[in-house]
Structure formats: C-alpha cells, structure tokens
C-alpha cells in the first residue's frame, strides 16, 4: 500500500477523524484530550528469565536526573518529583535509553488540569511516561523497565498500576494491553485559555485553572461492579 493510500485509510478511520477534529479545534484555541483509563496487573514473577546484558536499570532521584536525557521540560520533571514520583532509567553503555515513572498514590497531571486517584488506595499505584528511545524499541528495554518497576510494586504491596493513555497513542495501548491491561474508564477534557471542562468518573466538572482541581478516581474494580 502506498504512503498516500495509508494516509487516506488512516484519516478515514475513527482515530483519523478524531485527529483531524482535534487539529481543527486547536486552530480556534480549543484543546481537546480524550484518555483511556486503564489498569494493569502487577505480575507475580519477572517477565524476563534472563535480563539482557549491557542494559542496566536504576532508580534516579531528582539530584541525579539530567534534563538533557529525555525530551521533557525541567519544570515538569521537578513537578513530578515533588509529588513523590519514582523514575527508573534504562542505561545502555552508560547512555540513557528509556524511562518509566511511578507514583504510589494520587497523581496531578501536567498535560491537563486534574488529579488522578488510583483506587483502592494501597493496592494501586499510578504509572506514566513510559518512554523508550526510537533505536531501542525493538529490544527488551521496555520489558526490563517494567520488570524493575514491578519488583518494586510487589515489594510494597501493590497489585495493580493504573494510567491514562491518549486515544491517539495506539502504540502505547497495544503495549499495555500485551501486559494484561484493561480499560476501566474514560476521561475527556476541553481547554480554552484558563478555562477547562472535564468529563469522566465523577461526572462533569468546570474549573478555572489554579482555582480548583477536579479529581478522577480510577477504580481497578469498576468493570466488575
């Protein structure tokens, strides 16, 4: 299939139409985000029986993290650490090639204005920004990052990790689904300047940024209920 035919096929799909709608709204100053809320079980054992040689994973604290490692603003990294987030970084020959973040409790988003609350408390952590460098995406970096994070989660009594995935990021959803993740909800946000309307678990919420903060509970047992 030619590139033009692939592009036409994508734009005619539901995902493609949503992408075009989001771009059109952005032109008039409206930002729209639609997230899948997912829950992923913490497996009882490592996924890899033999870690790959030459690849090391370390938990990196704020004093050691270097802003040039990944395409993330320093202000955002500082914001994450202030919330108690833990960052695991994968190194190949001493070069950082991937990262994975976990918060063992509620997480205030940096892309939209809200706080996600993984529930039940103490059983569910929050994961975000799982990143692997382009030239390492066909290696076992992704799995080794998760093995390392899962070992920490098991040690601290967590049985699940929850997260949000942009509906345009199909690659991320497939990766999580391959590890047993399932959708437990959805959240939609509209932003215009300092005004935000959100809809998700808990209903509709309007706020002016900086004055109130909607909270969205991500309940891993919601589907069963």
Would the pLDDT of 220 be above 80?
yes
Binning pLDDT at 50, 70 and 90, where does residue 11 land? very low
Percentage of the chain lying above the pLDDT 70 cut: 91
Helix 3-12 × helix 14-27 angle, to 10°:
80
* Residue predicted with more confidence, 4 or 115: 115
Would the pLDDT of 27 be above 70?
yes
CATH code for position 128: 3.40.630.30
Q: Is residue 19 part of a domain?
A: no
Which pLDDT score, from 0 to 100, does residue 6 have? 52
Q: Is residue 23 part of a domain?
A: no
Which pLDDT score, from 0 to 100, does residue 10 have? 47
Question: What domain range includes position 107?
Answer: 30-219
Residues contacting residue 215 through CB under 8 Å, at least 6 positions apart: 106, 114, 115, 116, 117, 202
Q: In the numeric block, which tokens belong to residue 96?
A: 């950082």
Q: Is residue 90 part of a domain?
A: yes
pTM of the model: 0.88
pLDDT tens-digit map of 140-149? 999 999 999 9
Q: Is residue 131 part of a domain?
A: yes
Q: How far apart are CA 106 and CA 118, in angstroms?
A: 6
The mean-pLDDT minimum among 73-82, 153-162, 168-177 falls in 168-177
Q: Is residue 2 part of a domain?
A: no
Which pLDDT score, from 0 to 100, does residue 4 have? 58
Would the pLDDT of 7 be above 60?
no
- Cα–Cα separations (whole angstroms), residue 91 to 54, 78, 178: 8, 21, 24
- Cα–Cα separations (whole angstroms), residue 86 to 7, 61, 80, 100, 213: 38, 7, 8, 8, 23
Q: Is residue 177 part of a domain?
A: yes
pLDDT tens-digit map of 173-202? 999 999 999 999 999 999 999 999 999 877
Domain count of the chain?
Answer: 1
Would the pLDDT of 107 be above 50?
yes
Give me the chain's average pLDDT, please: 89
Q: Is residue 225 part of a domain?
A: no
Would the pLDDT of 225 be above 60?
no
Q: Is residue 10 part of a domain?
A: no
Would the pLDDT of 2 be above 80?
no
């Amino acid at each position: 299939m030619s590139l033009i035919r692939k592009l036409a096929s994508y734009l005619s799909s539901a995902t493609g139409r949503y992408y075009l709608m989001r771009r059109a709204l952005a032109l008039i100053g409206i930002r729209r985000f639609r997230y899948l809320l997912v829950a992923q079980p913490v497996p009882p054992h490592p996924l890899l029986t033999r870690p790959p040689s030459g690849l090391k994973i370390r938990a990196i604290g704020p004093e050691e993290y270097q802003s040039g490692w990944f395409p993330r603003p320093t202000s955002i990294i500082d914001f994450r650490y202030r919330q108690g987030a833990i960052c695991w970084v994968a190194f190949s020959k001493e070069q950082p090639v991937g990262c994975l973040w976990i918060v063992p409790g509620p997480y205030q988003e940096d892309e939209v204005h809200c706080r996600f609350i993984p529930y039940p408390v103490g059983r569910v952590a929050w994961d975000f920004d799982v990143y692997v460098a382009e030239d390492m995406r066909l290696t076992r970096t992704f799995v080794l990052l998760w093995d390392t994070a899962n070992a920490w989660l098991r040690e601290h009594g967590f049985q699940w990790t929850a997260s949000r995935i942009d509906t345009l990021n199909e690659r991320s959803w497939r990766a999580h689904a391959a590890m047993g993740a399932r959708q437990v909800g959805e959240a939609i946000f509209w932003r215009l300047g300092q005004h935000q309307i959100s809809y998700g678990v808990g209903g509709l919420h309007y706020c002016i940024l900086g004055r109130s903060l909607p909270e969205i509970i991500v309940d891993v047992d919601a589907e069963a209920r």
